[in-house]
Amino acid sequence: MVQEEHGLRVAYLGPMASYTHQAALDTFPQSRNHTLTPVPDIPSIFQAVQSNNAERGVIPFENSTNGSVVQTLDLLADSKNQYPNIQMCGEAFVRVQHYLLGRKSTSHSQSQPTHRSSPSGANLRHVKSLYSHPQAWTQCTPFLSSAVPGRERHDTSSTSRAAEIVAADKSGSSAAICSALAAELYGLDVLAPDIEEKKGNMTRFLIIRNSPTTSPSSPLSQNGSSSSWKSLLSFTLPQTGSPGALAQALAVFGKYGINLTSMNSRPSGERPWHYIFFIEFQGRRGDGKVDNALAELQSVVARWKTLGTWMSNGGQDGG
């Protein structure tokens, strides 16, 4: 979970009704008077937080099906030192659920409330054209083939944009594949819920803040055990390329019984075929075994940087 503050300015990857917007709403509820602002791309989130135009940012980090978000990793690598104060301080999980949204057919009872779903393609005969992001088509192939075969398909820049187009269509003959949040924001009916092929698809988002210091904010005794925390750090290896250098770096964590939960790498930007590694682990600085491991890691790698520490959300939907 994330902080208890009120009235924070939060930048998230737009547009409205995106899955990042859902993660922002889950993490920063409106009841606490937060201001959520959509921005056009992930670099804009980093820029807003680094420049203190936003106190927090919500960035997509990885998807359970498609893996890590490469652009986020490149921004965390920060080869040009544009975001020296950016630190992770929380996480949120959002299940990727696609809905078919539109207007209910006038041939059916108009007294049905919004968000009631159609049980079969028989109630979708009035839908003549479909709108969505290209990725959504492939994620919903079985449903599209069985429930709305042969309909015209129109690509949009985002699933949110698809909902916006359908909401403006007065004929009621178009439908969009997008999130349930889009139904609420654009006043659309749910024609069919959960139409994605792969169930349980999740995206994990990280919360960033401007924090010049990387030391723990309070003792472990006040905030649960070390295993309740996650930390992210980056490191590069010596230019000599000594055999087994990466294995030696990873072995440090095993030596001190620290569980690694993810590992990624990206080109460092320093020279060809040189990489920066990202390690996520259970624990945080202030715990003896973590401090000992980081002290030993320093003697193995060329340089390393702590990218943040946060309370684990346990892989559940952010809330």
Do 9-95+202-311 and 99-192 come out as alike in CATH topology? yes
How far apart CA 29 and CA 101 sit, in angstroms, is 25
Residue with tokens 């690509």: 155
Lowest-confidence range among 101-105, 178-182, 288-292, 310-314?
310-314
φ/ψ of 98, rounded to 5, equals: -95, 140
How far apart CA 227 and CA 300 sit, in angstroms, is 25
Q: Is-contact 47 54, C-beta < 8 A?
A: no
| Total-model pTM | 0.85
* pLDDT score of 269: 87
Question: Which residues, including other chains, have CB under 8 Å from residue 168's CB and lie 6 or more apart?
Answer: none
> Which has the higher per-residue pLDDT, 73 or 135?
73
Q: Is-contact 183 115, C-beta < 8 A?
A: yes
> Which has the higher per-residue pLDDT, 14 or 314?
14
How far apart CA 79 and CA 66 sit, in angstroms, is 25
How far apart CA 241 and CA 51 sit, in angstroms, is 37
Buried b (16+ CB within 10 A) or exposed e, 165-197: bbbeeeebebbbbbbbbbbebbebbbbbbebbe
- Dig out the tokens for 59 from the structure: 């960035």
pLDDT, one tens digit per residue, over 78-107 is 988 999 999 999 999 999 999 999 999 876
pLDDT, one tens digit per residue, over 99-139 is 999 999 876 544 444 444 444 555 899 999 999 999 899 99
pLDDT, averaged across the chain: 89
| CATH tag, 99-192 | 3.40.190.10
- 218 pLDDT above the threshold of 70: no
* In 152-193, alpha helices (H): 159-168, 180-186
How far apart CA 182 and CA 210 sit, in angstroms, is 30
Lowest-confidence range among 111-125, 139-153, 291-305?
111-125
How far apart CA 16 and CA 37 sit, in angstroms, is 9
* pLDDT score of 315: 52
* pLDDT score of 136: 93
- 182 pLDDT above the threshold of 90: yes
pLDDT, one tens digit per residue, over 306-315 is 999 999 876 5
* pLDDT score of 31: 85
How far apart CA 84 and CA 74 sit, in angstroms, is 14
- Dig out the tokens for 96 from the structure: 């990727």
Q: How many CB atoms lie within 10 A of CB 4?
A: 6
Q: pLDDT grade, residue 68 (50/70/90)? A: very high
Residue with tokens 């979708």: 124
> Which has the higher per-residue pLDDT, 44 or 122?
44
As a whole number, mean pLDDT of residues 145-165 equals: 96
Using a 10 angstrom Cβ sphere, with 0-12 exposed, 13-18 middle and 19 or more buried, the burial of residue 230 is buried
- 216 pLDDT above the threshold of 70: no
- Domain positions in the chain are 9-95+202-311, 99-192
Q: Which fold has domain 9-95+202-311?
A: D-Maltodextrin-Binding Protein; domain 2 (3.40.190)
* pLDDT score of 232: 98
How far apart CA 280 and CA 259 sit, in angstroms, is 9
How far apart CA 46 and CA 12 sit, in angstroms, is 10
* pLDDT score of 4: 59
